Amino acid sequence: MSHSPLDLKVFIRAMPGGPISPTSLCFIDMLPTEILCMIFDYFSHLTSSGRGQIPPIVLLSHISRHWRHVALGAPNLWDRLDIYNFRQPQVLRDFLSRSHNRSLIIRIDIPQTVFWSGDDIPEFDDSCRALVEQLPRIRSLSITARNLTLRKLTDKVMVGVALPHLQHLELVSCVDSAVMTMGPFRFDPRVFTSLRVEHTAIQVKDGRCLSGLQNLVYSNAPLSYLNERQIPSIAYPAVHANWYTDLPPPSLHGLADLRIHAPLLHPVPGPPPNNPVIPPPPFAPSFRTNVLQCVTLSSLSLSKMAYRAPANSDAIARFFHIISMAELTELHLIDVRDQAIEGFLWALNVHHCRFPTLRVLKLTDVPVEDIVQFREVIGLENFIDLFANAFPSLSEVHLAKLDPSPLVEMLNHFIIWPMLRQVVHDGEILLSVGFP
């Protein structure tokens, strides 16, 4: 039997109605403190229903004096804080103090806050100082704001200072404008493990700050962090005896899970006009190929990317070549289409990309028919050899939000992946090969 989640409004309506009196309050206060703490703990992990709404734990703490006394006496109820404005710095300080010395999870969502150059807002500055005072306790920080607001906030709170307790950072620019770089930040590599950036970029003191990073999520952002030579850093680049043969050691040597959504890929540059061709330095992966195991790519499409110069599918092919350097066990492609499919096939056929350790391939909202039709271009035998060589250890194919029939029909007639055990479509097994 399924149970619907607790509804705070229903919960409050169940309280004794009518004017509040000592008699009615006594019924509310009859709950044992242990039960109250369990109720409070449940609601403290819920976010408010929308901007301007009072958080559930705040509502509960105003039911009665006893409830407020119990709530304020439990620091674990106040270690998650959602901030929607900076108009009352003292209220912010009061809420920050309720968690005592516990680690903090803070989410700042201020997409409507607009700064113009030269703006000086005392309440904003004072609120930033309140956050700076708590930096040693902040474990997770998420900020959604416009570019300039994001820049001002990070400059006042995080730039150039130690972040000794920060494990997770999320920076989201909520406007569709040029990507701005925030920082530089001084992450503690022994603590910092998770980063998500959307339509923005970050700069670090040096690449070693990211050596403990395990999970990286890129969304509408440049992929400079995949190339060790291009990591935005204020540190002087290491001098190598031969720039073309001596690859720098990877900074993100702990990265195991990479998720990329609608990346800002740069097209392959042509030779400078009227100048001799200078070969670019070779790509130097910022990750350890034997550590990065899971990659998710979504909305990979040249038609969705903004370019100042004409783009071609070879940019996608080079991107897949970079991904294939890792010893992946799982690859998830979501909403990959048009020239991106061509680039994927180009990477396999021309760049000879292989995923020798890949066990699970997931395709969501991908035109499988375009992939299968490639056999008409290179011939059926070459097509089978191409995909067998590219994914020799593949054991599971998971399909979703697409027509699986072209692939399933081909697999029913030809053995492409000898290790294949099953093909799953929207949770249903369509094909079981070699094993029951």
Q: How many CA atoms lie within 13 A of 17 on its CB side?
A: 3
Q: By percentage, how much of the chain surpasses pLDDT 70?
A: 78
CA 382, CA 375: separation in Å to the nearest integer?
Answer: 8
Radius of gyration of the chain (CA): 27
Domain that holds residue 49: 33-77
Alpha-carbon distances, residue 118 vs 56, 121, 127, 146, 148 (angstroms): 37, 10, 18, 16, 11
Within-domain flag for 92? no
Cα dihedral across residues 404, 406, 407, 412: positive or negative: positive
Compute the distance between CA of residue 94 and CA of residue 401 in angstroms, rounded to an integer. 48
Strands 138-145 and 104-110, bridge-based pairing: parallel
Report the distance separating Cα 166 and Cα 138, nearest Å. 6
**Is 418 a domain residue?**
yes
* Full DSSP string of 311-365: --HHHHHHHHHHHHTS--SEEEEES--THHHHHHHHHHHTS----TT--EEEEES
Instruction: State the Cα–Cα distance between residues 149 and 169, nearest whole angstrom.
Output: 16
User: Could you report the per-residue pLDDT of 51-101, keeping only the tens digit for each?
Assistant: 556 677 776 776 777 777 777 777 887 888 889 888 889 989 998 998 899
Gap between the Cα atoms of 187 and 205, Å rounded: 8
Q: Which of 77, 103, 131 is a domain's end point?
A: 77
Q: Distance (Å, rounded) from C-alpha 201 to C-alpha 218?
A: 9
Domain membership flag for residue 336: yes
CA dist., res. 105 & res. 95, Å (int): 12
**Residue 299 backbone dihedrals phi, psi, to 5 degrees:** 50, 50
Q: Is residue 172 part of a domain?
A: no
What pLDDT is recorded for position 236?
A: 64
Q: What is the pLDDT of residue 139?
A: 97
- What's the angle, vertex CA 105, arms to CA 102 and CA 261, rounded to 5? 155
Residue ranges of the chain with per-residue pLDDT less than 50: 1-6, 8, 10-18, 267-273, 303, 306-310, 435-436
CA angle 141, 147, 152 (to 5 degrees): 65
- Quick one: DSSP state of residue 71? H
Burial class (CB within 10 angstroms; exposed 0-12, middle 13-18, buried 19+) of 225: buried
The answer to whether residue 105 sits within a structural domain is: no
Pairing of strands 422-425, 428-432: antiparallel
Q: The domain spanning residue 388 has which CATH number?
A: 3.80.10
CB 137 within 8 A of CB 165: yes
The domain tally of the chain equals 2
Q: What is the pTM of this model?
A: 0.81
163 assigned to some structural domain: no
Identify whether 107 is part of a domain.
no
Q: Is 53 a domain residue?
A: yes
Q: What is the pLDDT of residue 258?
A: 94
